[in-house]
Structures are given as C-alpha cells and as structure tokens.
Amino acid sequence: MSQLEDLLSFNQKFVAEHAYRSYEAPSRPTKKMTIVSCMDCRLIELLPKALNVKNGDAIMLKTAGGMVESSCSNTMKSILISLYELGSEAVYIIGHTDCGMHGLTSDKMIQDIKDRGVTDEKFAEVGIDVREWLNGFQTVENEVQKSVSIVKSHPLLPQGTPVIGLVIDPKTGELKQV
C-alpha cells in the first residue's frame, strides 16, 4: 500500500469511528497565545504536552528553526493575524537545542541542492540572495533573541504585547527562558 493509500484508509476509519470528537475545539485560541516553534518532528507532540497546550488552546506556527526572519515574512504576517483577528494576546518564540538549523550554512545547502542536479540558472530564477536566505544560525539563544526583537520592534505589533523567547530540550521538554 502506498503512503497516500495508507493515509486515506486510516483517515476513513478515523472519521467513521468519530475519533475526532476528543479534539473538538473553538477556532479562536482559548489560552490567547501564539507559539512560533521549529518544524522538528520530535516536537509534534512533545512541545504541546510540555507546555500543557491542547487542541484549541493556542495558534501554532512552525518554521525551520522557529525563526522569524524579517518584519515582512510570512511568519510575521501570521503573528499579526493571530493577534488582530484570532484573539491571541501574547507571542512565544520557542527555539530548541540540537536543531537542524544550528550550524547550517547556506554554502552547504546550496551544494546539497546542486548535488541533486539543480543548475545556476535555476538559482538565478529564485530572484533573491539565496546565500542570505538559506542560512541557519550559530547559537539558538541568539537566534531566538533576534526573532523576539524582530517581533517586538514591528511597527504593527499591538502595544503591550508580551513577546517571550524560550528554548526547549527536544528530549525532555524542559524549557529555559532566553
């Protein structure tokens, strides 16, 4: 059975057995919080469990490294939507130790892309400075701080919004404030 067939057959059963009932929740976050965290697959269940966040409690945004890259990035737009349109009142930026973005340089990633047969012409088609865009970070604390300051200094951030930086251990779930 292919991955898609497997997925669809599980899904039919999930719906037929009403397994969704224990996840029913309002569409506005009851804990009025927005969480930006890394897309790391170890955090799928661990992060919400370690923060006591359940379905419907928070707006969850996932990016590589949990990075908010710039004041006009899609992540920043999502944060503003969560605060103005979805009733969220606080922003938590949560990086983690042992992150795939730690120490990742754009040189390595560009080489990895080229190794898969992508040509220089294709890189030129992207239309931005790929070398800048594909960089990871050198220390997670600095990266979280950087993201916090981008959000905090955004001209459209509602006044008085708490913006909190944290680092989570992807094994134990332990949080440390940055």
Annotated binding site for Zn(2+): 38, 40, 96, 99
Which residue, 29 or 170, has its beta carbon nearer to Zn ion?
170
- Smallest gap from Cβ 170 to Zn ion, in A, equals 8
Q: Closest separation between CB of residue 101 and Zn ion, Å?
A: 6
Q: Which residues bind Zn ion (CB under 5 A)?
A: 38, 40, 99
State in angstroms the smallest separation of the CB of 30 from Zn ion: 27
Which residue reads 């928070």 in tokens? Answer: 58
Return the number of the residue (83 or 104) whose C-beta is nearest Zn ion: 104
Q: Which residues contribute to the annotated binding site?
A: 38, 40, 96, 99
Least Å from the CB of residue 65 to Zn ion: 5
40 or 143: whose CB is closer to Zn ion? 40
Task: Please identify, using beta-carbon distances, which residue of 38 and 76 lies nearer to Zn ion.
Answer: 38
